[in-house]
Chain A
Amino acid sequence: MFVAQAEPVRITYWEKWAGFEAEAMRAVVDQFNTSQDRIVVDFVSISQIDRKLIVATAGGNPPDVAGIWFAQMSSFADRAALTPLDDFIRRDTGSEPTAWLDANYTPVFADMQRYRGRVFALISAPSTVALYWNKTAFREAGLDPEKPPRTLAELDAMSRQLTRRDPRTGALLATGFLPQEPGWFSYAYPAWFGGRLVDDDGRVALAGDPANLAAARWERGFPQTLGVDELKGFAGGFGSFASTQQAFFTGRVAMVFQGAWYDRFIARYAPGLDYGVAAWPEAAGREPGPPGQAFTVADADLLVIPRGAAHPEAAWEFIRYATSANLGATSRDELRGVELLCFGHQKPSPLKQWSPWFAANHPNPNIGVFRRLSESPRAWHVPKIGVWTEYLREYNAATQRLRLLLAEPDEAWDYVQRRVGASLERHERSVERQAGAAVAESSAAEPTEGAP
């Protein structure tokens, strides 16, 4: 049948970011909207997207596309809130989803897009995490500003040398490293030490592991040597992350773990800061190697189609556009999709191949470090389990107790293990119960309703 110039399909896209990250995505949306005339994407910035997306999905009125964090994927998928993308991938690429991911994506990112043997999301903007160090602070403390720590022992030694106190009151003025500043990746410390948060069967495995305990003891060492009260006063004075008063910008903490986006914040709040970017120091007892062999945390923004979306086909078409690139781009105007987005976010592209222009003209001067880190076989991401947000909450609460010297390492980890273990059981029991009820309901309904 012949249809003349139909009305374009309008789809809604909920994005979690506000600010410059949202603007970068808006550019991609605009590009997609002008690239064709069949689909129009309405781009909406949503706060607290995790909660609202679930509710909208439950109410049968979800957006067609949503931008979520990697850490949320498993719980959303477990609650049957996401549409699997496997069939779309098979149809459009002619290959099996797993093989297709492996062929196109850097291994850690390929892995992050798989869950329980299916693909529920594609990566829009990924990043890895590196060590930033303040060269001025190094110089002033008598350290070689061009030599960041290569091992954990060096990190600790340098941190001690970078520690300054008020000669009169003894109050802390500056230090080298603090696990909680800004502490966004504290949950990765056990893995950094060579331990793990869940075992191969997806069960909580925090307690008892010697490497996990070593990480907890290391955390606890900071308040023990610097003083709990001194640290409270010291850390209480740090400005918020996006401010000129942030500890790293003012030189009060000389080393932090941050992602590729950090460069943008430095340019805005501490222009002229003399800093460098390096791989994480070796903490698992191996010989320190190049970034391509080092430990790092990989994280990603994902695009998903919530279950029950009104226009899954159009949504997929947009996702496909926003997650692929023009690998032959030779100018900014020729950047497409994921490269345009990552250029705006100042992050690496998740794809194995980068266009020559993107690689050569990336706004982040240290993008090479982040790219090599992402290629490391030891690039680590948070575990894919349905109660991860709860795990993280418990982990953070326990870490706070460690930092305040309110708990011993084994006691802290045992507590998390017990609580998250019980919660996981409850989660599984509920999933089973609901699945059972759904089966009973559909078999009861069968006589009256034919198969679609």
Chain B
Amino acid sequence: MTATDLRRLRAGLAFTAPWIVGFAVFTLYPVVASLYFSFCDYSILQRPLWIGLENYRTLAGDDVFWISLRNTLWFAGAAVPLGTVTSLALALLLNQDVRGRAFFRTLFFLPSIVPLVASAMLWLWIFNGSSGLLNQVLAPVFALWGGAPPAWLGDPAWAKPALVLMSAWGAGHSMIIYLAGLQNVPRELYESADLDGAGAWSKFWHITLPVISPVIYFNVVMGIIGAMQVFTTAFVMTGGTDGNPARSTLFYALYLFSSAFYDLRMGYASAMAWILFLLIATLTWIATRVAARKVHYND
């Protein structure tokens, strides 16, 4: 190594020093430690004791683990498509030549920056079975058919859909991203399509969608990662880590949290965390495989 190399190395390390520390203490050590803990009986009160695969074996036979996994996949499977469609639809609307675009954009965007705890409080109130806003609006409609609207968070069949609906309220963030993507679509493409007499649907399908497909891919992946870790809204709205009613909203992160911090089964929780890691990696890989066939990169 020459003196210049050494000097450059020193400068590089000096500038990245905060991250070297941060990486080691806040990422590398925790990752290694949690992998180790996942093979241990560890309660934080005592020292971790190696127990091999016992945590993983217990997990395989733990009903509640499977329930939480199913609930989480259900949530992600519903919330990600709904969020994508909602935000893309809003972006397409705003991308039209409309008056008051800035006004509408602000309006759609604002809910996405409302603190989750506060929006959870609000939706708890809106979903309230009999005096909540939603059912006050729906009750007369359902009464026409002689029925009653669902009790939402009080009904195991409707609690997850309620949380999914609520998540769509925060679509404004990805709407902004789609809007930026839409504005990058070259106008000439539309103009030549107009000359060919293409309809709106055909233009969307053959021009818009292919061009913004990388943006969609990126947002879907981020959406999956977020949805697999859903915690705050369920924690606040459906009874802490209980996942009421009847464990219908017991999500993966909630069960992990209660295993670690209520039952003090930190080793068990670490095993859950690693399974989640592998799961997210797999889902991302699948999305990438799908993207490889469907996504059009310009370069």
A–B contact, 8 Å CB criterion (strictly below): yes
**Candidates B151, B247, B262; contact of A236 at CB < 8 Å:** B151
The answer on a CB contact under 8 Å between A426 and B49 is: no
The answer on a CB contact under 8 Å between B129 and A397 is: no
The answer on a CB contact under 8 Å between A233 and B246 is: no
**Candidates A54, A397, A401, A406; contact of B45 at CB < 8 Å:** A54
**Candidates B150, B155, B242; contact of A393 at CB < 8 Å:** B242
The answer on a CB contact under 8 Å between B151 and A233 is: yes
| Contact residues of B between 245 and 270, Cβ < 8 Å to A | 245-247, 261-264
At the interface with chain B, which of A205-213, A341-349, A429-437?
A429-437
For chain A, the count of residues having a C-beta within 8 Å of the partner chain is 37
**Candidates A51, A79, A236; contact of B261 at CB < 8 Å:** A51
Instruction: Give chain A residues whose Cβ lies under 8 Å from the Cβ of B264.
Output: 54, 79
Instruction: Give chain B residues whose Cβ lies under 8 Å from the Cβ of A437.
Output: 46-47, 49
Looking at chain B's contact residues, the main secondary structure is loop
A327 within 8 A of B: no
B184 within 8 A of A: no
Instruction: Give chain B residues whose Cβ lies under 8 Å from the Cβ of A317.
Output: none
With the chains together, A389 CA to B263 CA distance in Å? 8
Residue-by-residue, is B125-153 near A (CB-CB < 8 Å gives 1, otherwise 0)?
00011111001000000010000111111
**Candidates A58, A237, A404, A433; contact of B131 at CB < 8 Å:** A237
By beta carbon, the residue of chain B nearest A430 is B41
**Candidates B49, B63, B135, B245; contact of A404 at CB < 8 Å:** B245
Smallest beta-carbon distance B54→chain A, Å: 9
For chain B, the count of residues having a C-beta within 8 Å of the partner chain is 36
B43 within 8 A of A: yes
Instruction: Give chain A residues whose Cβ lies under 8 Å from the Cβ of B214.
Output: none
B156 within 8 A of A: yes
A302 within 8 A of B: no
The answer on a CB contact under 8 Å between B129 and A232 is: yes
The answer on a CB contact under 8 Å between A434 and B262 is: no
The answer on a CB contact under 8 Å between A237 and B41 is: no
The answer on a CB contact under 8 Å between B45 and A389 is: no
B154 within 8 A of A: yes
The answer on a CB contact under 8 Å between B130 and A233 is: yes
The answer on a CB contact under 8 Å between B45 and A58 is: yes
B183 within 8 A of A: no
With the chains together, A419 CA to B129 CA distance in Å? 32
By beta carbon, the residue of chain A nearest B58 is A426
B244 within 8 A of A: yes
A12 within 8 A of B: no
Smallest beta-carbon distance B144→chain A, Å: 12
With the chains together, A426 CA to B261 CA distance in Å? 17
**Candidates B41, B47, B49, B244; contact of A400 at CB < 8 Å:** B244
The answer on a CB contact under 8 Å between B129 and A236 is: yes
B44 within 8 A of A: yes
The answer on a CB contact under 8 Å between B246 and A406 is: yes
- Chain A interface residues (CB < 8 Å from chain B): 50-51, 54-55, 57-58, 79-81, 169, 171, 229-230, 232-237, 239, 245, 389-390, 393, 396-397, 400-401, 404, 406, 419, 426, 430, 433-434, 437-438
Task: Identify the 8 closest CB pairs spanning chains A and B, nearest first.
Answer: A236-B129, A237-B130, A232-B151, A58-B45, A400-B246, A236-B154, A236-B151, A434-B46
Q: List 24 A-B contacts (CB under 8 A).
A: A51-B261, A54-B44, A54-B45, A57-B45, A81-B45, A169-B143, A232-B151, A233-B149, A233-B151, A236-B128, A236-B152, A236-B153, A237-B128, A237-B129, A239-B131, A389-B263, A393-B242, A400-B156, A406-B246, A430-B41, A430-B43, A437-B46, A437-B47, A438-B46
